[in-house]
Amino acid sequence: MAQVHNETLVEKAVIVADAIASSGKLNNAQSDAFIDYVVDETVLKNNARTVRFRNETLDIDKIGIGARAAVPKSEAVDPGVRRGINTSKITLTPKEIMVPFEIGDTFGEINLEGKSVEDHIIRMFAKQLANDMEDMYINGNLLGPAVLENDILDGGSTTLYVKDSLLALQDGWNEIAENGNIADAAGANIGLSVFNKAILAMPTKFRRNRRNLRFFTSPDLAQLYMEKLSTRATQAGDDAARGNGLMPFGVPIVEVPLLAFLPSITEHITLTATTATSLANTNISGVSVHAIALNAAPTAAYIVTTDYVVDAALGTIARSGGGSAIGSGDVVKVTYSASPQMLLTHKENFIVGIGRDIRIEKDRNIYKGVNQYAITAKISVNFEENDALVKVRNIGSSV
């Protein structure tokens, strides 16, 4: 019955036009139902812990025992020591996001769905919000990735760049994972040797129960592994060809659609004279270089060869000699596509914080003849334990 109740709230009290109050703020039950809705729309719904909060920040307490607890025991003798616990906390600082949209009267009158199209559109925007939130969870980067304006704005420039202000709100899991354990595949294609390297990079105490571990990959990287397995004349090959579950070394693979096969990486790099500076990854592609002041104004990128040179295989960048628009000592924003990457961690090490003060507001602009809507939410992400996390870089992109 609880599931039916939630669906009813989502359908009739949260994202249906007639039920949206002008005050906008959802009550507790509506907020919980909406949070359930946007979480269920993501692939991480069964692999992340969702925390609901109202405060401006949320502290999650951690308790652990960091060293050996047992001591020798002699009969009737106090061992003379007492063991303690280690306490720490994770702080989530939510960022506010909004989905603003309008629905015109004429469109509502002439479309095939009639008045019900408004409810349909609202649900579509709620679903897109779930996708955008998951994009932030995974790909957020406080440095602000440089993207072609057309990539985030219909009708935008296909040659000029802007800062992705949404992803710049906070670091996502892919960026936070840099604080965990790093394994370098050194160009090796996906296979048991890469999975083995990831497992060995995780401290032993976190891999005792492999049933709770997960490899998180892009769908294309998982497909490459299935193709490799399918060529074997074994039961494992037959299973891979049928698309059955993949469990290298007993650890399931979870495909994450918004984890790109060639992930976009942004770094701020100081370029001095013509000295080559190493980036965090090798075998890179699609490099664009900009001033770190890049913002919402469409701007041309610096010109390769004229302003800078890149060694894609080595993952290095340097100023060009003479005539470069980049001054010696300047800090530049370098955005590029890296080789495939993968995360290994416990399935509930991902933490999603979603504020319960969700607003879905409706207003009327009589001069334009439109109904205006705004969905507003606060979100934040982190890992509970960085040491229980392995990020594998520089995986080969072939079978």
Give the list of residues 6+ apart from residue 178 with CB closer than 8 angstroms, or none: 280, 391
Q: Which of 319, 337, 345, 180 is nearest to 256 (CA)?
A: 345
Domain chopping of the chain, boundaries: 2-55+92-144+350-373, 173-259+342-346+388-393, 264-337
Contact 198, 215 (CB under 8 A): yes
pTM of the model: 0.81
The count of other CB atoms within 10 Å of the CB of residue 212 is 16
Q: Which of 348, 344, 394, 352 is nearest to 181 (CA)?
A: 344
Length of the chain: 399
Cα dihedral sign, 247-342-257-7: positive
pLDDT by 10s per residue, the chain, length 399: 333 344 443 343 344 555 554 455 666 777 777 777 777 777 767 788 888 877 666 777 665 445 566 778 778 787 777 665 555 677 888 899 998 888 887 766 666 565 677 777 877 888 888 889 999 999 999 999 999 999 998 899 999 999 999 999 999 999 999 999 999 999 999 999 999 999 999 999 888 888 899 999 999 999 999 888 887 656 655 565 555 667 899 899 999 988 999 999 999 999 999 999 999 999 999 999 999 999 999 999 999 999 999 999 999 999 998 889 999 999 999 999 999 999 999 988 999 888 877 787 888 888 888 888 888 888 899 998 999 999 999 999 987
